[in-house]
Amino acid sequence: MTGLTNSIANLSIESQQEQSQSLKPESKASLLLAWQVKNKHCLVIGGGDVALSRILHLIRANAKITIITGSSYIHPEISQLNEQGKIYKLYQRDYKNSDLTMYENINRNLDLDSINESNYKSITQSVFNEVFDIVCCCIDDYKLSELIYYQCKYLRLPVNIADKPTLCDFYFGSMINQDNLQIMISTNGKSPRLSRMIKDEIAKEFENIDLNKAIDNLGLIRSRLREMKLINDDLVTIDTRMTWIKTLTDFFTLKQWSELDLIPPSSKPPYDNRFKYIDNIINYFPDYPPKDYQEFKEKILEEDE
């Protein structure tokens, strides 16, 4: 009976473990991505405050923005942005079903098996000039908003219906923007105000740090390493490159990286010394420059005698 008892005990333990797993709260996190909409068509339906906030996000991302404002109210700042040439097209009228496909002239004769390099140009043309990359609906008509959502789903268009988290493929979180640096805080549509408060608290931590300069410095080192030492794109080279730059990045704090002037103040022709300090760092590869910050500056930023 001992074997049977052990088996029953094991089954009981497994059952408890499965039950414990089932009681764990389901993750409600979203997949946060840096979505590239540069030079791609994006549609905003609405002309009020929420529409304006979406438009400002899209302008920052260099999208080609088409706006259907509705026939009643249009935010004066939206009109101003249009006058400044920052809007691709603006229609002061109500939404029409055909708006979702207004630019489409797609060749549907291709199948996936037949696509080859000769088709790449026409596919790129379609992506950038004929299809909306995202749709943002910012109107207070729930029935019309719901219809637009399902129209977008039928057309396989990613859509955000303002103030309706269940009708959103993506959310607009609170953003910290410093040129190359973007930090997004999202509450998955539950509390936009709270996400803004969190954003403000994070921003305070970096008030006296030029994070964009730190990014530029490390970006130059990374690109120069690829140009000078690790040119190939095989897996071993990529791993070596990533490991080296990751280790170097961890040498110093954000503030220290932001205070380094890695481009010489002048470059006298015909000798362009733009990469002089960067190359001083790269020339240590596969070893590393000094880990002590003061010694690093003395070695890397030294001038020719």
How far apart CA 184 and CA 293 sit, in angstroms, is 31
163 catalytically annotated: yes
What six digits make up the tokens of 185?
A: 């805080």
Closest to 144 in 3D by CA, of 188, 92, 192, 99: 99
Closest to 67 in 3D by CA, of 41, 90, 101, 33: 90
Closest to 106 in 3D by CA, of 120, 92, 127: 127
Q: Taking the CB of residue 282, how many other CB atoms lie within 10 A of it?
A: 19
How far apart CA 254 and CA 271 sit, in angstroms, is 32
Buried b / exposed e over 221-243, threshold 16 CB at 10 Å, is: bbebbbeeebeeeeeeeeebbee
Catalytic one of 163, 200, 239, 261: 163
The torsion of the CA quartet 248, 254, 255, 260, rounded to 10 degrees, works out to 40
How far apart CA 302 and CA 52 sit, in angstroms, is 50
Instruction: Report helix, strand or coil for 195.
Output: helix
What six digits make up the tokens of 299?
A: 């070695």
What is the pairing mode between strands 132-137 and 159-161? parallel
Active-site residues, by number, are 163
